[in-house]
Amino acid sequence: MEFFRFVLKRFLQTIPLLIIVSLISFFIIRLSPIDPLAELRLNPSISQETLDKEIKRLNLDKPIGIQYLSWAKSFVKGDLGYTSSGEKVSVKLKERIPNTLLLTLVVIFMTWSVGVPLGIFSAIRKESPFDRMITVLASVGMAIPSFFFAILMLIFAVKTGWFPVGGLTSYNFNEMSFIAKFVDISKHLVLPSLVLFTISLSGLQRQMRANMLEVLDSDYVKFARAKGLSEGKVIFKHALRNAVNPMITLLGFEFAGLLSGAALTEYVFQYPGLGRLILEAVMKSDINLVMASLMMGTIMLILGNLLADILLMLTDPRVRQEAK
């Protein structure tokens, strides 16, 4: 019961948040000096009639407040509207979401399955040569900008010819056998996921290491050791369980980044995901598409946090106590 009240409360809290986010973003986009029709205006063969028709179709003749209200009304009804070129926003998003999810899930799987053990290991072997080496590598990984690394990888692909230059599938993808399809997609995924992996691995590894060190230093671990428990038991049964809590919050954020976290890398690799779609939409001030993606990002962030809180409640009795 308590649990459901908590979820409901959190859910209600998100409504004003969504309204504020949508208001701010809508006005910022509309007040930005990008005119979706600027190109048409400077085209000598476009008649005034056509221009007026376009203005009307895109609702640009109405005051910005009304524009917002009509957008909000249809958004609440679940209608995301049409892009400035007349395609359904929901269709466009649906085309791209699976691709982005594929990339981000692969990356999250890789980083978590490598980052967490690495963090634990370097915490246990604190200050050992191995730990130092990992620290240096992590710093490099954190310092290198993702777009730059992505460009380096692209050049690598061109020079060696081992990997395709961007994209997700080859042009003859549809005629391939199932195994060939799998290989094709994997080949396309290697470089972008490697870039994202390197960038997020270091953060995760550092976080895990710090958590673990803190816990290893605490009294109950010392006590457990004093009791004469085996080192494995101390670490995995007592220390790890407590060190993992902050990581759950982090997982919540990862969830929020599922759809939007890879935008820059996606763009450099011409990956057919959401990032490229949204960037192009912003450039053209394609309001419905931008708003839809921003709202999606907001909802994902809220959901991610909610998910993390619920998970924490399940794992950590202290949080359960507080929620009451």
- Point out which residues bind another protein (CB under 8 A): 33-35, 38, 41-50, 53, 85-87, 91-92, 95-96, 154, 157-158, 161, 164-169, 171, 173-174, 267, 270, 272-273, 276-277, 280
Shortest separation between residue 198's beta carbon and another protein, angstroms: 21
Which residue, 47 or 177, is less far from another protein as judged by CB? 47
Task: Single out the residue of 60, 14, 17, 25 nearest to residue 291, CA to CA.
Answer: 25
For the bound state, the minimum distance from the C-beta of residue 61 to another protein, rounded and expressed in Å, comes to: 15
Is the Cβ of residue 124 or residue 176 nearer to another protein in the bound state? 176
Q: Which DSSP category does 125 fall into?
A: T
The amino acid at 102: L
Tokens (6 digits) for 177: 């056998």
Query: CA 111: distance to chain centroid?
Result: 14
Whole-number Å distance between alpha carbons of 222 and 226: 6
270 Ramachandran zone, left/alpha/beta (phi>0; psi -120 to 50): left
Which of 215/268 has CB closer to another protein?
A: 268
Hunting for tokens 């509207």 — which residue is that? 81
In the complex, least distance from residue 28 CB atom to another protein, rounded to whole angstroms: 15
Task: Rank residues 252 and 272 by Cβ distance to another protein and give the closer one.
Answer: 272
Nearer to another protein among residue 172 and residue 177 (C-beta): 172
- Whole-number Cα distances in Å, 235 to 128, 147, 158, 216, 243: 18, 38, 46, 8, 10
- Complex with another protein: residue 26 or 267, whichever CB lies closer: 267
Residues contacting 255, CB < 8 A, separation 6+: 300, 303, 304, 307, 308
Minimum CB distance to another protein, residue 180 (Å): 16
Closer CB to another protein, residue 157 or residue 216? 157
CB 57, min distance to another protein, A = 9
**Least distance to another protein, CB of residue 129, Å:** 18
CA 20 from centroid of its chain's CA atoms: 21
- Cβ 174 vs Cβ 133: under 8 Å: no
In the complex, least distance from residue 17 CB atom to another protein, rounded to whole angstroms: 31
Closer residue to another protein (CB): 47 or 321: 47
Give every CB contact of residue 101 below 8 A, 6+ residues apart in sequence: 258, 259
Contact 107, 193 (CB under 8 A): yes
Nearest-approach distance from CB 53 to another protein, in angstroms: 8
